Structure 1
Amino acid sequence: MARTKSSKPATAESTSREDAPNPVWFKPVMFGFMLIGLAWIIVFYVSQGAFPIAELGSWNILIGFGIAFIGFLMTTRWR
């Protein structure tokens, strides 16, 4: 019995996109988010709440962790 194209196992075609390396910009953006989040929190503590946005008060900590968390989430997609 002859094999047809539909019975051919999908190996390289279906996984090629999943195994493809990340774009060049991915790693700098990932580390950038982590560093910006860390810098946001450090600036908030060193300035005793006057910077980056004084009106937000302690919400600045959550914003800093949120920015850093985006970077950490990106690490799950890093190849």
Structure 2
Amino acid sequence: MPKSRRRKKDDPMAQESREVRDPGSSGRWVVPTMLTLLLLGLVWIVVYYLLREHIGFMEALGGWNLVIGMGLITGGFICATQWK
């Protein structure tokens, strides 16, 4: 029976240049995006309740401001599920 060929070893420099990433880790964008969405949603709702008379477009949106704020917070929670 013939012997199988040996595989050539990879160049050590090529191995160092490859990005080694833990398959269970999340991207660098997840935490900043999550925090931004959560805080932006909270600030939107607080500003709506405190300053709605002084900000014209917020008065025009009415109850939709709560939908916008809660939508931003929901987006933050969805990003939180991607965080490992």
Same fold at TM > 0.5 = yes
2:44 pairs with 1:46: no
Structure 1 residues 30-64: Cα deviation after superposition (integer angstroms, max 9, x where no partner): 11000000000000001145436321111101110
Identity among equivalent pairs (%): 35
Counterpart contact for 2:26–2:83, Cα < 8 Å: yes
Gaps of at least 5 residues in structure 2 are 1-20
The list of structure 1 runs, each at least 4 consecutive aligned residues, that deviate by more than 4 angstroms after superposition, is none
Query: How many residues are treated as equivalent by the alignment?
Result: 63
1:21 maps to 25
The structure having more radius of gyration, on CA atoms, is 2
Task: Give the TM-score, by structure 2 length.
Answer: 0.64
Higher RCO (CA < 8 A, seq sep 6+): 2
**Inter-partner Cα distance in structure 1 for 2:53 and 2:43:** 13
- 8 Å CA contact retained: 1:49, 1:57: no
Going from structure 1 to structure 2, the CA distance change for 1:29 and 1:58 (only over 3 Å counts) comes to same
The TM-score normalised by the length of structure 1 is 0.67
Distance 1:48 1:54, change over 3 A: closer
Unaligned residue ranges in structure 1 (runs of 5+) = 1-16
1:55 match: 60
Alignment root-mean-square deviation, CA = 2.2
